[in-house]
Amino acid sequence: MGKAKVLVVDDAKPIVMVIETNLKIAGYEVFTAYNGRDGLQKVREHRPDCVILDIMMPEMSGWEVLEELRADAEIAKTQVIMLTALGDDADISRGYELGVDMYLTKPFEPDELLEFVERVLEVGRDEDLMDDDDL
């Protein structure tokens, strides 16, 4: 199996650069997008194993991206980590109701984000194995 692909979608370029650098050092193939609409397009184009998604972005919010992603059968199983400044219980609950796999608030520790990525990718692999057993 090749390197896992991770898409980082955030309108704050310095945050994207930090995440991208850390993911590449950890051995991931990384794609980036700076607004929700571009992020959704890149999910369809690159089929990442995991998406790190901000909520407050231009063109499409992270909520809208997540809803569209979960509604599209071809990409619905993509693992999603919300990485956002919105840390209220209501926001976190909404994220899980919409189907986010993990929710992390800013400011964040890069090592903690890497651990989240590893965890959701492990869950995704386990789900793929279970799907293969159904054949």
Domain boundaries, the chain: 5-130
**Segments in the chain below pLDDT 70:** 1-2, 128-135
Contact 112, 132 (CB under 8 A): no
Q: What is residue 41's predicted lDDT score, i.e. its pLDDT?
A: 96
C-alpha to C-alpha distances, 54 to 3, 79, 95, 130, 135, nearest whole angstrom: 23, 14, 11, 30, 36
C-alpha to C-alpha distances, 106 to 5, 78, 123, 135, nearest whole angstrom: 22, 22, 23, 41
The count of residues in the chain is: 135
Q: What is residue 123's predicted lDDT score, i.e. its pLDDT?
A: 82
pTM above 0.85, yes or no: yes
* Fold category of 5-130 in CATH: Rossmann fold (3.40.50)
- Nearest to 110, CA basis, from 52, 49, 35: 52
**Taking all residues of the chain, what is their mean pLDDT, rounded to a whole number?**
92
Dist. CA 64–CA 58, nearest whole Å: 11
Rounded to the nearest angstrom, the gap between the alpha carbon of residue 23 and the centroid of all alpha carbons in its chain is 13
